[in-house]
Structure 1
């Protein structure tokens, strides 16, 4: 490939958008250009490089091998330019936008984030808590904390916490049935969200093969943190991560009747676009949270 010294930077921006969105039309919509103008800019790059970057098919496009090699490098280059310009304006360290699952945000992050802000007083933290899987290409988010297996294309991921769950309830509720001595005793009580897959996994591991969970009435509260509050109030048995509720256990509001814990393979992960891995505020938060939870989790990076 022979490349001209006068490489068309604007055309590269068009290529990056088309490769990321998989469509000349969508790239044009994002950049405020017609599809014809997008096609022209792509041809400029292809002529400059001397190789086709896209396979044109009816109603769709696909990156060639050369295009697949070039696209992530161009995306990373534009992210670096974006961060460099923001830094020059004094805004790179202005705000860190975090998206987190509701339970992790309420049970861990909200308690600890103050120490990060003390260590980095120039970074203002903005936290949004929900369980939606955000699209970094469409939403103004710097980092996210997700539950999953750590394999999200285009994202760097670091395991924060292994997820293991077990039934928990209030001691007072347990006394209403004379105590909980065997796993089957739990079925004498109201199960909060019996259709949660965690329940069937746990009962199976505990040797209870026929808990008839689907036939039981229950409530779906939308987040583990809410189910824990219901359990504290004596509204039923919740299946929870004990690490998040050690304070409730210490105060006698919840207890864990069995040592058995299970996992469905989904853990908590810190994720962010791989192209932005060297952004100062992202690097600062990554190093802080990994060190805070467990220094050894630095090894669990994808």
Structure 2
């Protein structure tokens, strides 16, 4: 095992050797003149020789101190360089964890602007349908739709998502019963019929209508909105989606909302990351950029598919 003097004493010696003055060394280190003197004496006792002698009002290095000072200064310079390089490497790649739909329809079309504004930061998207372990380093940040945030994570509220049934215009044209302001959505025409969002829709919109449980157990079943949307665009049925994440498909008439109703998804859309990363340059840059992007999208949302009316959930 290495036996080194206390780092505080070594740091006091290095600063005093540069300044040749205990008071100025103390100002740099946040110590009193007496505190620096104590640390130097402690170091001298450990090494068994004097390192400074007083000459008038100044402190001069002894021959032993003269021999030691440049080697200690070099050691501190190497440590500073090592930590600086670590910081540069750490801030060079930003990994973002999110669900497939958010990655494909929200982040991917926008990240070019982030890269242009931050050319020193490379971006890697971790697509996963599970919540990655941020504190274990599986990703730097995550975009999540969640009710709350685990301890140890920093959270920034982004928006609430509205959900609604969508299908291809051709599918809707073939089924006149789907037209109107608030049509019933037949269970046997639903894509991923047992998803929680369909239950949320039924609870909020059915107003006592009977829902065919047997039919709900049948039909196409996928594990992401983007696959539900692809099936809907192919004319295979009706998907319950967050229309704000499929604005391009709606604008291009590949998807069409059924009725005019909107139900708010449970939870909130948030940016989360470990508290220890709050001062990271890359995380700070992404956070500031993302919040501006959200505000831009909110401003271009005439149907109020997104909103921030609930404020930022705490925690």
- TM range, normalised to the smaller chain? 0.5 to 0.7
Match of 1:286 in 2: 287
- Compared CA separation, residues 189 and 250, structure 1 to 2 (3 A): farther
Other structure's SS at 1:139 match: coil
Match of 2:226 in 1: 225
* Preserved contact between residue 193 and residue 218 of structure 1 (Cα < 8 Å): yes
Match of 2:179 among 178, 181, 186: 181
Question: Equivalents in 1 of 2:145, 2:155: separation in Å?
Answer: 11
Q: Deviations over 1:28-68 (max 9, x none)?
A: xxxxxxxxxxxxxxxxxxxxxxxxxxxxxxxxxxxxxxxxx
Superposition RMSD on alpha carbons, in Å?
2.8
CA shift, 1:147, in A, is 1.5
- Compared CA separation, residues 248 and 152, structure 1 to 2 (3 A): same
Alignment of 1:1-302 (within 5 A): 85=83, 87=85, 90-181=88-179, 185-187=184-186, 190-206=189-205, 207-216=207-216, 217-294=218-295, 300=312, 302=315
* Preserved contact between residue 160 and residue 265 of structure 2 (Cα < 8 Å): no
- Compared CA separation, residues 94 and 190, structure 1 to 2 (3 A): same
**What TM-score results when the alignment is normalised by the length of structure 2?**
0.64
Moved more, 138-147 or 201-210: 201-210
Aligned residues: 224
* Preserved contact between residue 86 and residue 92 of structure 1 (Cα < 8 Å): no
CA shift, 1:188, in A, is 7.0
Other structure's SS at 2:88 match: coil
Question: Equivalents in 2 of 1:260, 1:166: separation in Å?
Answer: 7
Structure number with bigger Rg: 2
Residue segments in structure 1 that go unaligned for 5+ positions in a row: 9-80
Q: Deviations over 1:100-139 (max 9, x none)?
A: 1111111100110111000000001111111211112333
Q: Deviations over 1:216-253 (max 9, x none)?
A: 31222110111011101111100011111122222221
- Compared CA separation, residues 208 and 249, structure 1 to 2 (3 A): farther
- Compared CA separation, residues 246 and 208, structure 1 to 2 (3 A): farther
- Compared CA separation, residues 186 and 140, structure 1 to 2 (3 A): closer
**What TM-score results when the alignment is normalised by the length of structure 1?**
0.67
